[in-house]
Structure 1
Amino acid sequence: HDIDVPIMDDMFVDRGRSRRKAQEITNLHRYRVELYYVVLDMQLQEINSHFNETNTELLLCLTCLSPNDLFSAFNKQKLLRLAQLYPNEFSTIDIMVLGTQLDTYILDMRTSGEFSKLKDIGDHAKRMVETKRHNVDPLVYLLITLALTLPVATASVERAFSAMNILKNRLRSRMGE
């Protein structure tokens, strides 16, 4: 394919500038600073614009439900905060009860062989129903089901707004004719 692969320790030669005005930098420095870091900054800005503080908090709370490595990401305070983000589903009393349910739940999950090999929240919810744990810890199960429906609900709303934008654009173009 005849692709020139630069030697990273060699000096970079900018073909568009005179050699007297050019800075002396290595190929490694140029690719790292002028290309790689710039692309990383652009990606970070894009991610930051998509995930505001509330969305980031929500995602961090959701990771606490992951059954990986015997629920190593479990954090009771973050899960209680997640419940507070759903005031229509969890009353103040429900959140207090959820706190005690979470204590027994995590102890049972970490000591139970049935839940030790689970990989994702979906499998976890299925296993809770199979073992009737959804009746023992109903508020924890509600939290898990809310976590499972969130991506679907978000995608549905985004699709609806996208469809509305398409319709608005078509209407605008017809009005202009």
Structure 2
Amino acid sequence: MKSNEVFSGLHDIGELAKKMIQMKYHITYDLVYLLVELALVLPVATATVKRSFSVMKFIKTDLRNNIGDNFLTNALAFYVEKDIFASVENEEILQRFQAMGPRRCQLPATGKKK
């Protein structure tokens, strides 16, 4: 690739990946392209893992140290995606929970109407 002038003006690895696809070199040099792809994805994946462990520190305290995997996964999902869950109205959650099956009593309405 050093001898090819098309690749001489590239400034970062993202441009290299785009140029390889344009020139169809991602088919010819598939292992090289996989390494370039890995180099592009690795920082994002590492940040996601670090964020998950940081969140786990808040969820899994000494008092809740023996919680099961299913509960921990659900709690982490709620904590990480709290912006999405903040947009869901409490009334919708209560209605869905009540509709899941018979309850000993009806849950009270929150009083907020849309």
With the shorter chain as reference, the TM-score category is 0.5 to 0.7
2:45 counterpart SS class? helix
1:153 counterpart SS class? helix
Give a deviation string over 1:116-153, Cα, whole Å, max 9, x none. 01111111001100110101101110111111111111
Aligned to 1:172: 63
1:159 and 2:51 aligned: yes
1:145 and 2:37 aligned: yes
**Which residue identity is paired with 2:54?**
S
**What is the alpha-carbon distance in structure 2 between the residues aligned to residue 160 and residue 125 of structure 1?**
29
**Larger Rg: 1 or 2?**
1
1:121 and 2:13 aligned: yes
Q: How does 1:28-47 map to 2 (within 5 A)?
A: none
Identity %: 50
**What is the alpha-carbon distance in structure 2 between the residues aligned to residue 114 and residue 139 of structure 1?**
20
**What is the alpha-carbon distance in structure 1 between the residues aligned to residue 4 and residue 63 of structure 2?**
60
1:111: Cα distance to partner?
1.1
Q: How does 1:91-102 map to 2 (within 5 A)?
A: none
**What is the alpha-carbon distance in structure 2 between the residues aligned to residue 118 and residue 133 of structure 1?**
15
CA RMSD of aligned residues (A): 1.6
**What is the alpha-carbon distance in structure 1 between the residues aligned to residue 63 and residue 9 of structure 2?**
55
**What is the alpha-carbon distance in structure 2 between the residues aligned to residue 120 and residue 138 of structure 1?**
19
**Which residue identity is paired with 1:172?**
L
Aligned to 2:23: 131
**What is the alpha-carbon distance in structure 2 between the residues aligned to residue 120 and residue 147 of structure 1?**
11
Runs of 4+ in 1 over 2 A off after TM superposition: none
**What is the alpha-carbon distance in structure 1 between the residues aligned to residue 58 and residue 28 of structure 2?**
47
1:167: Cα distance to partner?
0.8
**What is the alpha-carbon distance in structure 1 between the residues aligned to residue 48 and residue 15 of structure 2?**
23
**What is the alpha-carbon distance in structure 1 between the residues aligned to residue 28 and residue 46 of structure 2?**
29
What are structure 1's unaligned runs of at least 5 residues?
A: 1-108
TM-score, length basis structure 2: 0.52
**What is the alpha-carbon distance in structure 1 between the residues aligned to residue 14 and residue 48 of structure 2?**
19
Higher helix share: 1
